[in-house]
Structure 1
């Protein structure tokens, strides 16, 4: 098969601030594989979690280096391809792009969307949350209004863990709830609290009707999660603390759910392993995203019927998304009936 790797830039309509910083644009990587007149696409976006920093440059270079080893295979030789990816220690985000491209090729080869190949029921897809980044109370209200005007949203995920402290978190969350009293609220602290603050905030947030708290403690403090769970009336999800299925067993007794992201897991293959591993431990499952375009989020949407919660909104905040694929209907991200991912270049729209 032939492999092409190229970088493209996406710009956010509204910069996103979390506890670790602000992002206004990203350089993502597009992977195309070609065989038998069929082209499969996959996307990689940068990942920066603790010491696991996968920059655009690292991702692009790693894919270029591994191309000669992979081009000798046919896209159907997945087991052999996976062994090469394991032995070369390919970064997870780069692996995700290639893995998704293989699935896109397969779907196009057989003429079916992936969700149909896997026998999934799109009626089970829950509404996706859309994100309110760390901001002033008035800024958070304004961003909430922006989302309400943009689409028929059902759920807001509010980023807390403000460097200014939990009082700033309280004021912002209260402002969002005042602006959208009828929407469900999720909270993601991105590791911005210590144990004391996390216990305090989880109880306070529960009284406001928040549904769950994601990554309340920083990566590296997983040993404190069991103690937090004892004192939290809210379900605790982990994101930065859980990259792949191998991380789940050691977290299973300390949390209620995991956030699966293709760029962390290494693609759809490992994402499915994570779903079934989590279920075996009685955990709930969420699918999330980084600064992904429609391409990667449509890939995740193919597995969306398996999720309890969805946070696939990054592409909705782009002003120059080069792709179209899954659509948003009544707050739900729904894959289409086109073969493979069902993703096309925006410029090719009829």
Structure 2
């Protein structure tokens, strides 16, 4: 099989601020795997987007270089040799975002080869997909209200995820959340601190947020402080989800007694193959599952949407905040990101948007 690696830049309609900083645009990587299926040449597509968690960072350059280095090694394989290809990823220590792009592309190739969308190949029910939350980044109370109104005008919003963990402290967090709730008091709210709280602040905030009817709190403590999660869980009336603390299925058994759920992102996990493992591992440990995203385009989020019937919560909104997404795929209906009936991932390229 032949592998092509291309870069593309996407710009956010509204820059997103979390506890670790602000992102206005990213340069992502588009991967194409081209191979024959009988007399037909089929191209499978995948995407890698850069991300960083603490001292762990996968930049665009790191991802691109790793893909260019592994491409010649993979040329000898056919897209259906999935088990052998995965061993190559492990042996060459391919970064998770690069693996995600390749894994995505292999699944897209397979779906196109049999003429079926992935959700149907896996026997999943699209009607089981829950609405996605949409994100309000850290900002002033007034600006956060404006962003909430923008989302409400843009689409049929069912859930808001509010980013907290402000560098200005938890009092700033409280003022911002209350301001956003004023805009849409009838909607459900989730909170994501992105590791921006101390243990003492997390305990105080979880109890305060419970009184406001918040559904759950995500990543209240920084990655590396997982031992404190059991102390938080003992005192928190809210379910606790982890994101930055959980990359793949091997992390889940160590977290299972400390948390109520995990956030699966394709860039962290290394693709749909590992995401599926994470779902089953989490469920076996009695945990709930959320699918999330980084600065992903419709390509990655449509890939995640193929597995979405297995998720309890969804946060696949990054592509909805892009002004120049070069891809189209999953559609939004009644607040849900639904994969279509096209084979593979069901993603198309729009040259006018690129």
Q: Give the TM-score band, short-chain normalised.
A: over 0.9
Does the C-alpha gap of structure 1 residues 222 and 54 become closer, same or farther in structure 2, counting only changes over 3 Å?
A: same
In the other structure, the counterpart of 1:338 is 342
- 1:312 aligns to 2:316 (yes or no): yes
1:295 aligns with 2:323: no
- 1:66 equivalenced with 2:76 (yes/no): no
Matches within 5 A, 1:13-162: 13-36=13-36, 37-162=41-166
CA distances 1:19-52 after superposition (whole Å, capped 9, x unpaired): 0000000000000001111000000000100121
What is the alpha-carbon distance in structure 1 between the residues aligned to residue 51 and residue 178 of structure 2?
30
Give every structure 1 segment of 4 or more consecutive aligned residues whose post-TM-superposition deviation is greater than 6 Å. none
Verify: 1:232 aligned to 2:206, yes or no. no
Give unpaired runs (5+ residues) of structure 1: none
Cα displacement (A) at 1:348: 8.2
Secondary structure of residue in 1 paired with 2:57 = strand
Separation (CA, whole Å) in 2 of partners of 1:183 and 1:194 = 28
Quote the residue 1:210 is aligned against.
Answer: 214
The question of 1:184 aligning with 2:195 is answered: no
Structure 1 residues 86-126: Cα deviation after superposition (integer angstroms, max 9, x where no partner): 00000000000000000000000000000000000011000
TM-score if structure 1 supplies the norm length? 0.99
Q: Give the 3-state SS of the residue equivalent to 1:108 in structure 2.
A: helix
| CA distances 1:139-175 after superposition (whole Å, capped 9, x unpaired) | 0000000000000110000000000000000000000
**CA distance in structure 1 between the aligned counterparts of 2:2 and 2:91, rounded to whole angstroms:** 21
Change (3 A) 1:23 1:348: closer
CA-CA distance at 1:201 after TM superposition? 0.3
State the TM-score, normalizing by the size of structure 2: 0.98
DSSP-derived class of the 1:109 partner: helix
CA RMSD after TM alignment: 0.8
Displacement of 1:346 after TM fit? 2.0
Unaligned segments of structure 2, at least 5 residues: none
